[in-house]
Structure 1
Amino acid sequence: MAPRVAILDYGSGNLRSATRALVRTGAEVVLTRDLAKADAADGLVVPGVGAFAACMAGLTESGGDELIRRRVAEHRPVLGICVGFQVLFAAGIEHGQRTDGIGVLTGEVTQLAAERLPHMGWNTVAAGSGSRLFDDPEERYYFVHSYGVSGPVTNAVTGEPVILSHTRHGGDFAAAIESGALSGTQFHPEKSADAGAALLRRWVSGLGVSGLAVSGLG
């Protein structure tokens, strides 16, 4: 039986391309605003593009923020992508405005310390020790963002260890996290050609396996 994956439609995100990419993994995929359907899935994908504050407003209005917190507390797989990854953290600071995030991870999303923004295009990822998302250190993934997370990160809900993978643009920032059933990517796996497709297959293949999940599509 194919794993069931729900992509949460809360008014933001790369919904069509994320859906197509996940269907190609062999998963049974549903794009839904229905929280009960999303909660019943083996894996939940949280996409996101645009501004942190706008994404958080959509999640709060739809109740998606509470769904994500509950799934993380219950050790059930969540994958965040791009801004859907960023909103997992405690807060985002854009143009001097601080917006509370979902807060399942500690840390703040701030502007990258780089002369050229946005960070747009292909870049490699230095996988953290023990990563299950990454396989080949030479693979390149597609990034489009001006904000990111640097510094230490902890799982504020379950206390499980966090595996951080990094990319450099101006300075180091978190390209991905893995913590128990919670995962996320700052880059867009659904736009990252064969490397992104392989990463999504690895995530889907881990659904239902204790300790593996992905958070972040955008």
Structure 2
Amino acid sequence: MEFFTSDESRERQVEYNVFHTALAAAVADDGAKLWAEVREKERRRSVQGLPPVDPDEQFFAQAVDAVLEQHGDFALTSTDVRRAITSVREVEARRLRDDQQRTLQRELVAYVRSNVSRLSREAQMENRALVIAGKSEQPIGLVAHRIAVEKIRERLSLDRLPAPVIEKTILAVHERHPALFDPPHKVGSEEQGSAAVRASFPTPPTSRRASPINAAGRVPRQSGAQSEVER
């Protein structure tokens, strides 16, 4: 117990905390610059015919060098340094995952709102295919959001997002659009679009009530009035 409460132990823990904080800041603030340096070093190694190195390990080695250059040496063991690297790597992975998830959510919202009619038609077709395959239809809005993800994922970096996280994001965005898509319905062979889209168009002015016309093509007389022939 004396070892863990000694001044030396406390000082070492303080140094570890300072190093950990500085390393996390270097990775978050200078990550793009550090990765550019890693790629450049890898290019030079390739030109020289040297074997490649693990880019992730090279990245954190350069981050540690940057911290030491800025703060000076630390009274830490290699085990301490490795522990800090492991911790910061996990923190950075969570940060990148959260950033990618927020980007996916923002882009999905924008794409869906801009392509409601087309997504609605494609979702209707997808549901018809499910029925033909003997499967149950799914909520039209949810199918539309899944289609939208496939449309935009090529232009996004989603390498940190596993499939369950992507599906969770789709569900979250779908819940933000409760009235954007109509329930599945058919009118002839053509889908009439979503309620939200139809509501966005101005309502045409109400025309004057037309006089009813009977089967003979004449306007029927009002009650109590007599025609000239009857009189």
Q: Normalized against structure 1, the TM-score is what? A: 0.20
Which has a greater percent of helix?
A: 2
Which has a greater percent of strand?
A: 1
Q: Normalized against structure 2, the TM-score is what? A: 0.19
Larger Rg: 2
1 or 2 for the larger relative contact order (CA 8 Å, sep ≥6)?
A: 1
